[in-house]
Chain A
Amino acid sequence: MKRKIYIPISVIIFLGIGIWSFVNQKSAVTVGTKNPEYEITAEKLYMTFSENETEANKIYLNKVIKLTGKVQKAEHTEEGVNVYLSTEGESSGVICNFEPGVVDTDDFDEQNNVTIQGLCSGYLFDVVLVKCDLVR
């Protein structure tokens, strides 16, 4: 008799824990462990957006991108680090935003090539990648 009661109670508890865990899942700090949908240079990504933002959004928006480019500068923001990848002959390029604790500005040397994986959030003056991770 007791067993009959225990089984449904256990099921309810496990189900409750499952739902609670799903609802309270923490947002990933980086997309570094995900498989990239595109591998591209910062130059090519920027040119695609600057030529036709609407079309570029259809391809790259909210997609994980593995990006290679030359570091223009790295700076601390209010909460994390922004790394600017330059493009030849343009004042804009790609901004890669890192959440707190992922990298430090010392990890980047100006004019050096780096590979960064991030999630494309769109285009302002520059193409923006968020939740970035440095591919070492």
Chain B
Amino acid sequence: MKFLMLVSTFFLVSTVSISAQKFISKSGFVKFHSHTPVEEIMATNNVAASIFDPSSGEVQVSMLIRSFSFKKKLMQEHFNENYMESDVYPKSTFKGKVVNIDQVDFKKDGVYTIQIEGDITIHGVTKELLTQGTIEIQKGIPTAKTDFTVLTKDFNIQIPDLVKDKIAKEIKVTVNIQYNAK
């Protein structure tokens, strides 16, 4: 009887500690890419922060707009000062969840396809985002990847007529976050 109680207590404690574990990343990678026949614009950010709760599937990502790095100096200045107004809106965030989290087995290495839904905030405007991605599990630690497209007009980003041909209306966003145990 004592043995049974001991075993059940052990399982209870294990379950609680697994469900309480969260994953964190402070070096998430985010890239955006604008393609037009006139100009290719690409910027990357290697310091996005994220918290991921594997038991509920809840995920939060936040990044600093001024952490995006461009190849051309003038592009970076225009991006921060004219289009993203990064002194007024210094961060972009995503708050949502992996809808099919029950299909991800954190104890088994592999790549799992995931559905993500939530709210994305860019330039002070919040929109619903539905997208697909993957979670790769290696020794219990997840790496999440996704890409999606955002429209500049949806986030009230004004592009002057003079450079309209150089900046795409649709911007492709790529995300790659390797988590650590919290």
Contacts and interface: CB of A to CB of B under 8 A. Distances in A.
A109 B87 CA distance: 35
B66 interface: yes
Nearest to B80: A62
Interface residues of A, number: 30
Interface residues of B, number: 25
- Identify which of A95, A122, A126 gathers the most chain B CB atoms within 10 Å of its CB: A122
Contact of A27 (B27, B47, B73, B91): B73
Contact of A130 (B47, B62, B74, B176): B47
A131 interface: yes
Contacts of A57: 90
B149 interface: no
Contacts of A97: 46-47, 67
A101 to B, nearest CB: 13
B29 interface: yes
Given A77-B27, A121-B67, A125-B26, A26 B72 contact: yes
B159 interface: no
Interface string B21-46: 00010110100000000000000101
A121 B76 contact: no
Interface of B: 24, 26-27, 29, 44, 46-47, 49, 62-64, 66-67, 69-76, 87, 90-91, 176
